[in-house]
């Protein structure tokens, strides 16, 4: 089963024929019931990251519960669509990007399942190359870029934006971490697909970023963004063959994965 975790403004993925599944986990309930439907030949589980009514801010999303619930349901490969700000004039609103790197600038988030046992996962390349290729090879999609993940819920200052840009980062986001590393710990393939909703304050000398504008831009691009998601899913092989996202080979874990 494939998974899709919808970001800001991305709260539904199927019609009324999808079935809803409520799950509990050792880490509490996920953001919302998971809906399961089909896209082409794939069975797909959809979970709105921020809840069905956007009740979770980026720093309060129950990331561990979300990823655990998807794994328990049978999901082994996940696309994580998300809204991002641009840190370069080359990427304007409406651009769709498949990042290949991330930088964590969050704080205080529960970002591991391994609080004991001395377990360490490789994370040099945080995204699944197979899933990335399925989306990045589509027409009009920008392949590659570094996404810096900030704590939120506030937007960056102009100085922070300029600093991020000076480091070579191209996108800024609030939810890409710890989602990606939790997927890796659960041996699930994961790839982010980013929709640019704004040019960040330090890059655009005009008005500062406003939440209402971000949501409006996401809404304007929702139809082509969902179309991109469907096309990417259609390009994923039915059988999982990736070994990049299985870091626990030969390792004795302190608990069984769901």
Residue 115 marked as a ligand binder: no
For residues 133 and 156, the answer to whether their CB atoms sit within 8 Å is no
Q: Which of 200, 204, 249, 256 is catalytic?
A: 200
- Residue 53 CB burial class (10 angstroms; 0-12, 13-18, ≥19): exposed
Distance CA 14, CA 252 (A): 39
Structure token pair of residue 148: 């810096």
Residue 50 marked as a ligand binder: yes
User: In terms of Cα–Cα distance, which of 147, 32, 6 is closest to 84?
Assistant: 147
Residue 200 marked as a ligand binder: yes
Structure token pair of residue 116: 């004991």
Residue 71 marked as a ligand binder: no
For residues 13 and 49, the answer to whether their CB atoms sit within 8 Å is no
Residue 174 marked as a ligand binder: yes
* Residue 198 among the catalytic residues: yes
* C-alpha dihedral sign at 170, 236, 183, 75: positive
User: In terms of Cα–Cα distance, which of 128, 170, 120, 118 is closest to 149?
Assistant: 170
Neighbours of 164 (CB within 10 A): 24
Residue 175 marked as a ligand binder: yes
Q: Which of 24, 110, 111, 198 is catalytic?
A: 198
* Residue 24 among the catalytic residues: no
Cα dihedral value 257, 68, 240, 178, nearest 10: -110
Catalytic amino acids? 198, 200
Output the known binding site for phosphate.
8, 49-50, 175
Output the known binding site.
8, 49-50, 174-175, 198-200
Output the known binding site for substrate.
174, 198-200
């Amino acid at each position: 089963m494939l998974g899709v975790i919808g970001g800001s403004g991305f709260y539904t993925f199927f019609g009324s024929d999808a079935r809803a599944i409520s799950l509990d986990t050792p880490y509490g309930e996920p953001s919302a019931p998971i809906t399961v439907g089909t896209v082409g030949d794939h069975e797909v589980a959809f979970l709105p990251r921020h809840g069905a009514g956007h009740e979770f801010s980026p720093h309060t999303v129950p990331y561990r519960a979300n990823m655990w619930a998807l794994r328990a349901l049978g999901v082994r490969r996940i696309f994580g669509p998300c809204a991002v700000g641009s840190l370069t004039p080359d990427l304007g609103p409406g651009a769709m990007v498949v990042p290949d790197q991330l930088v964590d600038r969050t704080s205080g988030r529960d970002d591991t399942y391994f609080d004991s046992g001395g377990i360490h996962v490789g994370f040099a390349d945080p995204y699944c190359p197979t899933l990335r290729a399925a989306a990045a090879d589509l027409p009009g999609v920008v392949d590659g870029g570094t996404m810096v993940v900030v704590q939120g819920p506030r937007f960056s200052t102009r100085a922070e934006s300029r600093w991020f840009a000076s480091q070579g980062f191209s996108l800024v986001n609030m939810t890409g971490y710890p989602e990606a590393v939790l997927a890796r710990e659960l041996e699930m393939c994961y790839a982010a697909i980013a929709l640019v909703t704004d040019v960040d304050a330090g890059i655009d000398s005009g008005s500062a970023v406003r939440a209402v504008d971000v949501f409006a831009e996401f809404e304007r691009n929702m139809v082509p963004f969902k179309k991109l998601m469907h096309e990417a899913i259609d390009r994923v092989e039915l059988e999982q063959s990736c070994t990049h996202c299985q870091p626990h080979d030969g390792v004795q874990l302190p608990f069984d994965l769901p």
